Amino acid sequence: MMNYSSGPSHPPSDPPAIRAQDLTVVRGPRTVLRSLDFTVPRGQITGLLGPSGCGKSTLMRAVVGTQAKVTGTLDVLGRPAGHPALRTRIGYVTQAPSVYDDLTVRQNLDYFAAILHPGRAAAELRHETVSRAIDDVDLTTHADALAGNLSGGQRSRVSLAVALLGTPELLVLDEPTVGLDPVLRRDLWQLFHDIAAQRGATLLISSHVMDEAERCHRLLLMRAGEILADDTPDALRDRTGSDTVEAAFLHLVDAAIAAGRAKETTR
């Protein structure tokens, strides 16, 4: 069992990082998220875990304000999701790393920094911000390498550096460790914990790999557009009498299926 400390505590008067009530999202003919209620506390790492297709990316898109047909309440850092004031307060890394292969690491970051801080006057600030972001993800020695020549793990770190440029209070990372070898995964998780602990940032990180759950302070376990559990890994294991979060998840799935059957038969 891993024990991680969370970052500097936030005053209780601060609104939670995310608060959802009756959150529903329709995509095409389907209701993809079904009346979700949950809160994500600040300064911690919350894992959003569930099998492929359960709605993790849709939920993240709703949080960052890029998802259509969202109903119910969804407040992010005390504002409605998608509010223009949130743009610089949230960093978002999509599932497919969005870096330019024909630019170097530094050029990639310069490009995104210019969008964030346009104008000639901001050039110095940009240089400083870019260097810090490259350092944050430990790529200083690769700053002049073409992104296309980097390993998968290094490319993921470039995407993360882009998301860190605005010094965001909330980082939304969609399956950032998919396809990475165990050592890179461990290093990246260490980096996420450093970001939470040193900056007091909130991280919402999705994964379909249950063993990543053990590395989070809190978990939202999802299945088929619903949240099965919103708890700490310890509490989940205790509550279900399981040794691992994966076993706890399966226990909750079975319970949900049984409850669904019971409902069917009483109709």
By C-alpha distance, which of 140, 134, 133, 130 is closest to 110?
130
Structure tokens at 226: 């619903």
Structure tokens at 157: 């770190």
**Counting contacts by CB under 6 A, is residue 53 touching ligand ADP?**
yes
Candidate segments 39-47, 57-65, 195-203, 231-239, binder of Mg ion by CB under 5 A:
57-65
Alpha helix segments (H runs only) across 21-144: 56-64, 105-116, 123-136
Per-residue contact string for residues 13-32; x = within reach of ligand ADP by CB under 6 A: --------------xx-x-x
Residue 190: how many other CB atoms lie within 10 Å? 13
Which of ligand ADP, Mg ion, none interacts with 58 (beta carbon under 5 to 8 A by kind)?
A: ligand ADP
Q: Which of 57, 129, 202, 240 binds Mg ion (CB under 5 A)?
A: 57
The phi-psi region of residue 43 (left if phi > 0; otherwise alpha if psi is between -120 and 50; otherwise beta) is left
Which of ligand ADP, Mg ion, none interacts with 94 (beta carbon under 5 to 8 A by kind)?
A: none
- Using CB under 5 A as the binding criterion, the count of chain residues that bind Mg ion stands at 2
Element (H, E) at 154: helix 152-164
Which of Mg ion, ligand ADP, none interacts with 233 (beta carbon under 5 to 8 A by kind)?
A: none
Where does this chain bind ligand ADP (CB under 6 A)? Answer: 27-28, 30, 32, 50, 52-58
Where does this chain bind Mg ion (CB under 5 A)? Answer: 56-57
